[in-house]
Chain A
Amino acid sequence: DTEVTQTPKHLVMGMTNKKSLKCEQHMGHRAMYWYKQKAKKPPELMFVYSYEKLSINESVPSRFSPECPNSSLLNLHLHALQPEDSALYLCASSQANGRYEQYFGPGTRLTVT
Chain B
Amino acid sequence: SQKIEQNSEALNIQEGKTATLTCNYTNYSPAYLQWYRQDPGRGPVFLLLIRENEKEKRKERLKVTFDTTLKQSLFHITASQPADSATYLCALGGLIKAAGNKLTFGGGTRVLVKP
CA distance A105 to B43 in the complex (A): 6
Which 10 pairs across A and B sit closest by C-beta, in order of nearness? Answer: A104-B43, A42-B105, A101-B46, A55-B100, A99-B32, A97-B100, A98-B101, A56-B100, A104-B44, A97-B101
CB-CB under 8 A for A42 and B101, given A56-B96, A106-B43: no
The answer to whether B108 touches A99 (Cβ under 8 A) is no
- Interface size of B by CB at 8 A reads 25
The answer to whether B42 touches A99 (Cβ under 8 A) is no
Q: Which of B36, B93, B96, B104 contacts A99 (CB 8 A)?
A: B93
Q: Count the A-B residue pairs with Cβ separation under 8 angstroms: how many? A: 59
CA distance A56 to B93 in the complex (A): 14
Interface SS majority for chain B: strand
- Interface size of A by CB at 8 A reads 26
Chain A positions within 8 Å of B43 at CB level: 4, 90, 92, 104-107
The answer to whether A50 touches B100 (Cβ under 8 A) is yes
Chain A positions within 8 Å of B101 at CB level: 48, 97-99
